[in-house]
Structure 1
Amino acid sequence: MTRTLTRLTAALAGLLLAATAQATAPDAIIRDATDAVRADIAENFSTYQQDKAAFYAMVEEKIVPHFDTTYIAKVILGSHLKAASPEQIGEFETAFKDMLIRTYADKLLEYYDSIEIEVKPARLSGKRGTVATTIIRKEPGKPPIPIEFSVRQAKDSDEWKIWDIKAENISLVLNFRTQLDSEIKRNGIPQVIERIKAGQLVVGDEDNAE
């Protein structure tokens, strides 16, 4: 596992723990949801270990709706967005979402009780903002990991949604956009979508990009 992937894994684990409560401020969403999701895992840990489908379904239900997945897909596609049909954008959005769950949920299940998360007040400017957090690993000798959540308000509601995270100044979304740029240029969006679905392209894992 590369150093980049390790950082992003830890960052996404923090993000996955921070996604269910309805609250006005994005830092309140993160702070309140952390305890709720960890309590869910603690209560059902044995079940989730034996039934990963149930665990993935919980992640899908409680966490994914708090991502602005449509916006994330468009940012990752970047300059290729104009060439993508609405159907392809939707397929890419779904493939990316499923890849995140597939790649990081197992790590979340394994390490959910070995970290604590400190959340600072949100820094907001209009409909955009950031929430600085720190992941504190309980294992002796492991330094804390600063995590910054990028949030935006949905156009059709006041709900804040997460669209990116930065772990030690490494952006999850921009990192994957860089990975996929040459891949899309060579093979096109449909093939990239199929490779993501097949687990051949994983965010943060530059070795998987051809």
Structure 2
Amino acid sequence: MKALFQKIIILVTCFLLIVPVSAKEIPPDQLVRNTVDEVITILKQDDGIKKGQKDRVLDLIETKILPHFNFTRMTQLAMGKNWSKVEAQQRKELVSEFQTLLVRTYSNALTNYRDEVIEVTPLASQPNTKTTTVKTRVIQGRGREPVPIDYSMEKTSNGWKVYDVTVAGVSLVTNYRSTFNSEIKKAGVEGLITSLTKKNKSLEGQ
């Protein structure tokens, strides 16, 4: 199960890493297809990544994922009703720590890519839509069931942004909402921030 989760993280990251210069003009499903193809090529060819050079992997993620992922929206959704109770400075800290958590989680799993294939389902024409879901499937081979991964995206002035990822029916945002709510009940918002900070420090050393 852990190995499967790592593979899923890797393949989610494939979409998030590379953003074309003209991303504002590309339909969301085509953006997914283009980025998946390009990143898989990089994973197969980059010797540093294949050797597990963490600085190289982390730099790649930090420079390419941040412009394409709406961490503020994602953090807000993960916080749920608690978001309205959070002070401005705490919001900044939460977004920063949550962003760091996801980036470091991706970086620790990225080198485990093993030639999985990703199928992207084309979208029907939606010229005026502001939100959409791009559906993909990870083909694992060896008789194993494909893993569905859906990207919830919204159209912004800077192009399409991902604000949630659903893996095999489980929403990343919803999953973290449960964790966040539990931490807040135990130790408040400051306790959640402290917990995220500690988790990030532990991942930094891996």
Which residue of the partner structure matches residue 9 of structure 2? 12
Which residue of the partner structure matches residue 139 of structure 2? 136
Contact 1:48–1:54, Cα closer than 8 Å, also in 2: no
Structure 1 spans left out of the alignment, 5+ residues: 203-210
Which residue of the partner structure matches residue 100 of structure 2? 98
Which residue of the partner structure matches residue 183 of structure 1? 183
Which residue of the partner structure matches residue 44 of structure 1? 46
Contact 1:165–1:173, Cα closer than 8 Å, also in 2: yes
Distance 1:130 1:50, change over 3 A: closer
Instruction: Give the whole-Å Cα distance in 2 for the aligned partners of 1:47 and 1:148.
Output: 26
Distance 1:122 1:182, change over 3 A: same
Instruction: Give the whole-Å Cα distance in 1 for the aligned partners of 2:150 and 2:30.
Output: 14
Percentage identity across paired residues of the two chains = 27
Deviation at 1:45, TM superposition (A): 3.1
Contact 2:52–2:111, Cα closer than 8 Å, also in 1: no
Deviation at 1:47, TM superposition (A): 5.1
Letter in 1 for 2:140: R
Deviation at 1:158, TM superposition (A): 5.2
Instruction: Give the whole-Å Cα distance in 1 for the aligned partners of 2:100 and 2:168.
Output: 25
Secondary structure class of the residue paired with 1:99: helix
Letter in 1 for 2:135: A
Return the TM-score normalized by structure 1. 0.82
Distance 1:25 1:39, change over 3 A: same
Instruction: Give the whole-Å Cα distance in 2 for the aligned partners of 1:201 and 1:51.
Output: 18
Which residue of the partner structure matches residue 208 of structure 1? none
Deviations 1:168-208 (A, max 9, x none): 21101011101211211221122212211221899xxxxxx
Q: Give the aligned CA root-mean-square deviation in angstroms.
A: 2.4
The 5 A counterparts of 1:86-125 are: 86-111=88-113, 113-122=114-123, 124=126
Structure 2 spans left out of the alignment, 5+ residues: none
Greater helix content: 2
The 5 A counterparts of 1:144-183 are: 144-154=146-156, 157=157, 159-183=159-183
Deviations 1:47-79 (A, max 9, x none): 563530221110111123211111001111111
Distance 1:47 1:26, change over 3 A: closer
Deviation at 1:95, TM superposition (A): 0.9
Contact 2:98–2:196, Cα closer than 8 Å, also in 1: yes
Deviation at 1:11, TM superposition (A): 3.7
Distance 1:94 1:6, change over 3 A: farther
Instruction: Give the whole-Å Cα distance in 1 for the aligned partners of 2:4 and 2:88.
Output: 33
